[in-house]
Every structure is written in C-alpha cells, then in structure tokens.
A = this chain, B = another copy of it.
Amino acid sequence: MLSEFSLIDRYFAQRARTNTRRAALGIGDDCALLAPAAGEVLAISTDMLVEGRHFFPDIDPHALGHKALAVNLSDLAAMGAAPLGFTLAFALPRPTEDWLAAFSAGMFELADRFDCELIGGDTTAGPLNLCLTVFGSVRQDVALRRDAAQPGDDIWVSGTPGDARAGLGVLRGEWQVSEADATQFRRALEYPEPRVALGLALRGVARAALDISDGLAGDLRHILERSNLAAAIDVDALPVSPALARLPREVQLQCALAGGDDYELCFTAAPAQREAVEAAAQQAGVRVTRIGKITALTSPGAAPAIAWHDAAGTPLNLTLQGFDHFHAD
C-alpha cells in the first residue's frame, strides 16, 4: 500500500520532473521557470472546479481529469494561444490509487495531445477541489480579445453547442432520449474538446473571440459589453447536432443558447474574412457556422443587447432566464 505522498509522486510529480523540455525546473524547486516563444507573451488563465458546482460527486475520475484541463485549454484557444504548460493544485479528501490513476490518465491524455506540460503544483488534504492554471504563448498583437469586435462583423460559432446541456438534462431526468443520444450528450458534457487548433488558425482572421462556458447568449454578451456593441442573431441559423435536433425545438434553443459547458468558440470576423474563416475551420477540422451580425448600439448609452430573429428576419422574444446550467455562479 503506497502512502498518499508516494501516490501523488507516482502519478504527478515524477512525471512533472521529467517535463524539462520547456520548463527549466518544475516540481521539486520553489518555482517553475517558463518563457513564451520569442516575440510573444504568456497567456494565463486559472479555473477552480468544485464538486457539486462543476461536476457531480460520482463523476468518472478519468472524465474529471480531462475536463479540468479541457476548460483551461479552452481559455487558451479563445485567445489564439499555443499551449505550453500548466500547474495543478488540488485538495483531496482521501485519494485512492484507482482514483488517482484514472484522474491522471484523463488529464495527461489530453495534455499530451496538446503538447501541454505539467510544470508545477501543490496537493493537500481537504474537500475535493481542483485549481489549474494554464500557460500559452501568443503574439500580443494577434491575440483574440473580447473587446475587438466591430459593427458589421459576422458572428460565428464552432461545432454544435447545446449537447452538454442536453446531457445534463438527461442526467437530471429533464427529458428522455435514446441510449445512443444519451451517450453522445454525456460525452459532450464530460469530455469537451478545447478548440485549440481553431483558435490558432483564427489569429489574424477573427477579431473578437471567447469560449462558451456559460451559454452562447450570456457569453456573447461579454464580447458586446467589452466592445460596447450590440448583436442580431438568427436563431434558425444556430447549428445543432442531429441528436439535439430530435428534442423539442424549445429545448434545442434553450440548450444551444443558455446551456453551458460546451467550450465551443464564439467569434467575430469582418465579412471580407469569410473565406479565410472557412479555411481556418477546415484546417482545424472543426465546423463553423455564421449565426448573426455585430451591430452598433441603438444609442450611445444603450445596453449591449442581443436582438433575436428567425430566418425570415421576424423578431423573436426569447426567454432564456431561469434555465439554469451546471455551474450557475
């Protein structure tokens, strides 16, 4: 029986000590040393995941390891930054070898896929809590910021948002679906795919960007607020998966617009960039869909609102409030 310390050493520290390609010194010294690529800056994001808020107590630890890193890599994707490394701090009530083995496997399979090295960390006993800080490299002048949208920009979204929220609804018994659809929804919820390649390909093509963690409607508002602009969205243009399309239209819209945890990218680009956006998406192997336009504020002091309409241009009055998603903080 290995001690807690030996287990953590086996599954994390030992591995981090061999990560010396990028980080001079990692676990084992007071600090890790890390530099962005020449001429670039470090993009840094931190996320804390808590049981009951961000995942269910019975989550598969392999999925938890994946998701904890995925949501952080998604922040790098939304900046157009190339992953370099991450630190992992976690509190665990009573780690078992099975749990640590599965958790670390889920995390490192994703880390390896994106060439993102564990460079440091901290562990302690305590109620389950995961805090990751992720580091990427990006040229400051092409970083995809939230405040860079311009009137007339197209609004794009990657993938087919809504499946993660549909998966939460299945787990909560809010709706019944086939076993195959349930599996797909649950996978979207537990194994989100960070759109790193798309973010990189969009540098110099897109203007503003962010990742959808809290729902397309709410997150798009962050771009509007930071850019001081408004938007018009064609809800009939929203891409939904075939599985989600089998649920009632009302549920589709709520999942696609107000459901969180998708980690698709929402971004704006000048209409002149449409071919370049499509080329970037093809290069990244991700579907992208044009769903609306950035517009000027109706008056200088107006709130940065979203106007919803259908394919015919008829205004819609959507009520998205009260449809809570997983981590409603």
Which A residues are within 8 Å of any B CB, using their own CB? 24-25, 28-36, 41-54, 75-76, 78-79, 81, 87-91, 119-127, 129, 131, 133, 135-136, 138, 140, 143, 145-147, 209-211, 222, 226, 327, 329
Contact = CB atoms under 8 A, between A and B. Distances in A.
26 contacts: A25-B145, A29-B145, A29-B147, A29-B226, A30-B79, A30-B146, A30-B209, A31-B78, A31-B143, A32-B43, A33-B42, A33-B138, A33-B140, A46-B121, A46-B133, A48-B89, A48-B90, A50-B91, A50-B129, A53-B124, A53-B125, A87-B133, A123-B329, A126-B129, A127-B127, A127-B129
A48 B329 contact: no
A122 B52 contact: no
Contacts of A131: 46, 48, 89, 122, 129, 131
Nearest to A36: B35
A132 to B, nearest CB: 9
Contact of A329 (B35, B51, B121, B125): B125
Given A31-B81, A78-B30, A329-B125, A24 B44 contact: no
B127 A126 contact: yes
A87 B47 CA distance: 10
A88 B123 CA distance: 17
Contacts of A87: 44, 46, 133
Nearest to A79: B31
Contact of A126 (B50, B75, B81): B50
A76 B30 CA distance: 7
Given A31-B45, A89-B133, A123-B329, 6 more contacts: A25-B143, A42-B42, A45-B120, A46-B88, A50-B125, A53-B124
